[in-house]
Structures are given as C-alpha cells and as structure tokens.
Structure 1
Amino acid sequence: MIEYQVISRKSENEKRLVVLFFFSFLLCFIRQTSLIACIVSILIIAYFLIEYDIGRTKFDYFLFLIGRLKLERQLMNAKIYVRLNSRKTGNIYVKLPKIHILRQSEFKIWIQIELAIDNYNILKEFDFSPIFKGYRQMRVIDTIGRESIIFELEKVDYDRQFKFKNIREIVEQNWDISKIRIDKNTEINTLNHILLSGQTGSGKTYALLYLLLILAVRNAEISVCDPKNSDLAELSKKLKIESKTSATDIVKEVKNVYLEMEKRKKQRIKENWPISTTAIDNGLNLRILVVDEFASLQLKLQKKELDELLKYIYQIILEGRALSCFVILGMQQANATVIPTSLREQFGSIFVLGNSGEQTFNVAFQEKADSLPKFPLKAGEGWVVQNTDIEPKFIRFPFLEFLI
C-alpha cells in the first residue's frame, strides 16, 4: 500500500518563496545581480504582507501569522480541504480554506474561515483557544449563507465586570432608563420579563438584588417573594422592600400584583390611552413581581394553591407588558415542568449563571445551547439570551462592594 503525504499547495509554494527570498537577499550584495535580486526580494516581502493581511493585522502581524500557520495545520489534520491532484512523487496536494484573523478590540479577535457548506458541521465544533495562548473561544458566528464561519476569542484576563462602591455609581452607569447595564459589554431592556437560573454559589441572589436596586431607584413598585427566607429577603430589607416568605403570603402577593394589572387594564379603557403606549407612558410606575426559588415554591403549595399561583403569574407574563407589569423569576434549575416552552418564550431576557447542568441550558436556550463553549465560570458569570439575540452572550454581573 502506497503511503501519501498530504501537502497544502499554498504552503509548499510559500516554502519555495522563502528559500528564493534568502537566495535573492544574498544576491543583493553582488553588484551584477543586485538590482534584480532586490526587486525579487521586495516582491516576495510584499506577497507575504498582503497575503497575511498586514493592512488589518498591523502590530499583530507576526502573532497572527504564526496563528494562521497553526490553524492551517489543524485544518489539514481534520481533512478540511479540497483535493487538487495526486502525483507519483508520493504527495497529495490540497487547497485549504481562506483564513482571516482580525483584531476587533484590545481584548477580542475574530478568526474567519471561508468554507464549503459540507464542512460547516465539522468546523463549528472546533475550539481554537489552544492556538492563541491567553485567549478563550467565546462563540461561533454564522454568516449569511454560511459561506464562512467566525470564531470569536476573548482575552482570559479581560475584566468586563463593573465594581460599584455605592448606589450613585450604579445610577450613573444606568442613566438610560430603558436599559439595564449588566457589564461593560451587555445591557438588557428594562421593559422585559426576566428569567434567572443559577445553582447555589453562582451569584444568582446578588444578580437579583442588582436588578432590584436599579428598578427601586427608578421608582418601580416592587414585590419580593422568597419562599426560603434566605439572602434575598434579608438584602431586600436594606432597600426597604418588604418580602413575603410564607407560601400563603406569596400567593396573596402574586394575586395583588395580578389585580393591580387588571386595574390598569380598566384604567387604559377608561382613559383611552393612545395606541401602542404603555402604563409608563401614561403616568404610572413600573410594577415588578420578583419570585425567587420558583421551583421550590411550587413544591410547598397544595394543588389548589399552586393552580391559583400559576394562573396569576401566567396572566401577568402574557398580558403585563403593555401595562408595565413585569415578572422576574429566579430558580436553581430550569426544567420544562416548571417553565413550559410556551411560557419561556415570553421572557425577554433569560440568564443562566454558573456551571449549571446541561438540562438547564437546554431548557433556557433551546437549540441555542449547542453553541455554548465549555469552560468553568466564576460567581456572577454566565450567559444571557434576549428575544432579539441569535445566540447567548457571555456576561458577568456587577460586584456590589457596599453590600459586603
């Protein structure tokens, strides 16, 4: 059986150019051949500068040049290439996909690979983090028509987290009342239902508290329900927000929010609010219902109480947007029995914090969960998908120094 060596035609030609360059460079010092040799040397240098994107890589040229060579070797090993021809020399020549490496910011680079559609499913599973030391792969981005694929890498030591010393700093960062800033790269819409999932130690409670802080300073009317009477109930007291902890009181409080929403519906008809306006547009405050440990709460209720609770929450989620009534649900694990798919789709922002299980990611993000990279997360770190997002984004909630 004949053993063939697979060789990239482009790489083979570039090796020859490198050899030619050294010969030409030496000939530059011989008077008879200096002019032609120097021209050849300059043309070879120009080829490598253009071929490896000097105009876009600039100071990263040599770093990206080495990275690109490693990428080409990885593509060769995965047999992602077009076979050109075979020769009796014992070599098989191939053409590799075109690779572009671009710096998007001080902390982020993109690797764009042009490919055939039949290679897409293979390539999207690649993780190029080991090639670029100090970076980790954050997401894989499709282009229209899938004629190429983009891998986004971010510096591991990039600190996207806000560190707030007091409430005034929170207010300054969240000056746009239509948005809530989560970190330096991410903001969510204020007028949305929010689902937040995270295991113990994931930072879920402090994430909920951060959201409450912002909504409180915006004069929202807030109801907090904490069936475990844990940190959220205790921290809510610092904001002078009363929290309900018993199952019976929680059901009553949820009903009160529902009745407030119904009252606003009647007010809208009576006052004939303009089309497409919300309760806020017509002089009312935000009405926020926060229920932590939602799955745990369901286990504490009798069937009749549970049915009543779910009926009220479902109606608020389905009808509350135009009436400026919103729900924030917190739970340790998301599963389809607690949050049906039809209801999950009503949440404008869905967070999963910490190293949650595969089921939680699948329920929260559906098919979008497949694109999430696998690396360990710190407290406050996680992923969010909004109703306008194609895929989840990596986030880190702020550190609230004044609550230590």
Structure 2
Amino acid sequence: MTLKIETEGLLNNGIYLKEVQPSLEQKHIFVRLPKVTVKTDIEDNVREIAITISPYNQEKLSKLDLSSVFQGFIQQQAQSNRDSSQMVYKLLNIDSDYFYKFSNLKQLFQFQKNYDSEIPLDKYNSIPVLSHKIIVARSGNGKSFLLLYLISFLALSQKNILLIADYKQSDVFIACRDNLGLSSVSSKEDILQMVEDTYLEMLDRQKAFNDYEGNKLGLTMDKLGYEPLFLVIDELASFTAALDKKELEQFNFHFKQIMLLGRALSVFCLITMQQFNVKNLGGSSELKEQFGDQILLGNNDSQTIQNLYGSNELPNFQMEKGNGFLQNDSNLQPVLFRSPFLEPSFFKHLEKLNLKLQTKKES
C-alpha cells in the first residue's frame, strides 16, 4: 500500500526531491520521497495517510488528492497536524455503513442521551450544539431529512428552545408542529414577528448579563437561567423573496443582530437554502463567517461551492442523497460526511402530542 502511495500519489504528482547523480555515466535519476505512514480502522472503512512535510513539498501536499490511489475511497480531508510536521489525509469507504439509522423518535431519544455538547452526523463527524448552522442543498438531496434530524435531536434534549419558521409549510414544518410540539409559524407576518421576538429575547438576555452584579468572568447564559434558543428558518431565500422593501429591511436588521450578537447570549440560527449567495443574507458578507457549521449537501454548481467555501476544489463525483461536505472550526477544509438515515417509520403511528413529555416519563 505504501509503495502505491509513493508511485501513484507522490511520484506521479511530482512530490519528491531529486538527488545529485554520482557520475555522468550512470543514467539514473535518484529521488528522495517523504516518509509515509498508513493507518486503517478495523473494518477498513477509514484510511488515514500521514506524509512528512518539508519546505519543498508543502504546497503540493496541501493540494494532493489520494482518492485515485484507493479504489472505492474518497478523500474526506487533508490538513496538517498540530506541529505542521505532517500532512494528514483521511479517506472514507464510500460504500461503508458509517451513517446512523433511526426508525422512530424514541430510538433517537435514547441515542441523543449519550451526547451533551455535540450532534453526531455520522460515526466520524459531529458538529457542536451551540453554533450558528447553515445547510445548502438543492431539492431532492436530503436537506429536509437532515434538518429534521437536527431539530429532533435538539428538541429531545429538553434543554433547548426551538422556534421554527417555514414559509413553504414543508413536511418539516408539519412534523415540528404536530409531532414535536414546537412553536412553528409559516405566514409572512408570523415569521417576521418570530424573528423580532427572538431579537427582543436576545436584548433581554444582554440586559440580564449587564445587570449581573457578580463576577462576569466566564459567566454564561445557563448560569443566569436562560436555555439555548434556536431560530430555525427553512428556505431563507424563498421567504425573503416574498418581502417588500420595508419588511426586508426590518428582517435584515433583526437577523443580522441575532447572527452577530447571538452566540454570546445562547441565541443561534439554523438556516437552510437551495443556493448560497451573500444576497440571501441581506447582502452582508460578514454574516457568512458567523456560521460555525457550513453544510453543503449533494451535487452543486461551482458558483455555490465557491460562494460557501471560498473555493470550488471539492472531490468531483456523483453524490448520493444525504452525502455532503462539512466545514467548521474542527475541519478548516470541507470534509465528506453522510447524513443520518430516517426510515419511513420515523413518524409513523405517533399521536398528535409532545413526545418530549412521553419520553421523559418513560426514561
């Protein structure tokens, strides 16, 4: 395996150092290759390749894609280790079952109890609970299922407040209102009011923080009795397109303040879009950087990829439904992940009640 990496990965991409020939008579070119270390997991679902960095190969190593070296694997990430002595590549078997499956909310509830500060996406990737999140995906690429999973996960923890705004009244909206018992609105007026109320709640939290007379060093909202609040807006661009000029100005002001100030006050946004551009964020490029977790699902055009990640250099292969890329503080470059699979029975046979109360009693 190491020999294959050296020949197909390093030599074919010009990542080597030519040695001085001992004599003119010897018609050979001697090269020095960087050290290669290979690790695989027990089920051979993940391969981790570490290649020693030196001044002459650092730039080339950062652009190296080893996917072609391993049939059936796709490169998930390539980034240097902490002391920048090695470039580490992680490759995933695209046919392996490293994603989670859930048949109903009770099963997800039992799973969720094992996690406190993070939300697992698959067996190798997770995102923090407390962050602004954005999901970008064309229709049919699994956006609704991933959004429903994230909302359900947050709701079932019984530690969060969720406000759902869905102008299109999708299945996610119906599930949140009827099965999860969440505050869900769909009309233009109600969504604008919900966003304004979220903004006012944030100001109330800010005042409570400023009025606190004790030591504010390390003070968090939960110590003041405030639960994390998540404002979920499905298909943001579709909603803003329906607003007149005055309404749009009102929305953009409130939304921008929530995005810029909310994290410190445990107020977060979870947004979805079909295509990403700064215009859909009120024309404010600084808001893009506020999204701690940037998720791109399915196959997308190069402009959308460029707008979201600042580069369109992603692996070029046909993505299955639910497959996507994630970029956040833990993954400075987009990494491949697979969304949890929600089986058709996920909401089957559930009565119109707040499941949180039921599962709390049963636990």
Q: TM-score range by the shorter chain?
A: 0.7 to 0.9
> Are 1:71 and 2:8 matched, yes or no?
yes
Paired residue total: 338
Give distance in 2, aligned partners of 1:240 and 1:383.
31
Alignment partner of 1:177 is 2:113? no
Which residue identity lines up with residue 185 of structure 1 in the other structure?
A: Y
Q: What SS is found at the alignment partner of 1:284?
A: coil
**Could you tell me how far apart the structure 1 residues matched to 2:330 and 2:259 are?**
18
Q: For residue 91 of structure 1, give the secondary structure of its aligned residue in structure 2.
A: coil
Query: Does 2:186 align with 1:245?
Result: yes
- Are 1:268 and 2:209 counterparts? yes
Q: Deviations over 1:120-140 (max 9, x none)?
A: 444544433333333222222
- AA of the residue aligned to 1:169: Q
| 1:385 equivalent in alignment to 2:322 | no
- Matched AA of 2:251: L
Greater share of helix:
1
Cα deviation for residue 265 of structure 1 reads: 2.6
**Equivalent residue in structure 1 for 2:154, among 215, 224, 230:** 215
Q: Secondary structure at 1:92's aligned position in 2?
A: coil
Say whether the 8 Å CA contact 1:163–1:399 is kept in structure 2: yes
Q: Which residue of 1 aligns with 2:69?
A: 131
1:307-356, Cα deviation, whole Å (9 max, x unpaired): 10011111112222232221111111111222333111112211111112
**SS at 1:150 equivalent:** strand
Q: What is the aligned partner in structure 2 of residue 259 from structure 1?
A: 200
Q: Distance in 2 between matches of 1:242 and 1:77?
A: 55
For residue 69 of structure 1, report the CA deviation from its aligned partner: 6.0
Question: Is residue 277–residue 322 contact of structure 1 (8 Å, CA) maintained in 2?
Answer: no
How many angstroms apart in 2 are the aligned matches of 1:96 and 1:320? Answer: 52
Extract unaligned runs of 5+ from structure 2: 349-363
Structure 1 regions of 5+ residues with no counterpart? 1-63
Kindly provide the amino acid, as one letter, of the partner of residue 337 in structure 2. Answer: I
- 1:177, distance to aligned residue in structure 2 (A): 2.4
Higher relative contact order (CA 8 A, sep 6+): 2
Aligned mate of 2:298, from 349, 354, 362: 354
For the residues of structure 2 that align with 1:127 and 1:185, how far apart are their CA atoms?
A: 20
- Kept in 1: contact 2:16–2:31 (CA 8 A): no
Going from structure 1 to structure 2, the CA distance change for 1:319 and 1:75 (only over 3 Å counts) comes to same
Q: Report the CA distance between 1:274 and its aligned residue.
A: 4.8
- TM (norm. structure 2) is 0.83
1:373 aligned to 2:315?
yes
Counterparts of residues 57-68 of structure 1 (less than 5 Å): 64=1, 67-68=4-5
Letter in 2 for 1:235: A
Shift of 1:77: 7.1
Which of 139, 155, 159 in structure 1 is aligned with 2:97? Answer: 159
In structure 1, the residue matched to 2:34 is 98
- 8 Å CA contact retained: 2:325, 2:334: yes
Distance in 2, matches of 1:78 and 1:162, equals 40
- Quick check: 318-327 or 103-112, which moved more? 103-112
Counting aligned pairs with the same residue, the percent is 29
* 2:274 counterpart letter in structure 1: Q
**Contact 2:15 2:60 survives alignment (8 Å):** no
Question: How far apart are the structure 2 equivalents of 1:364 and 1:142?
Answer: 22
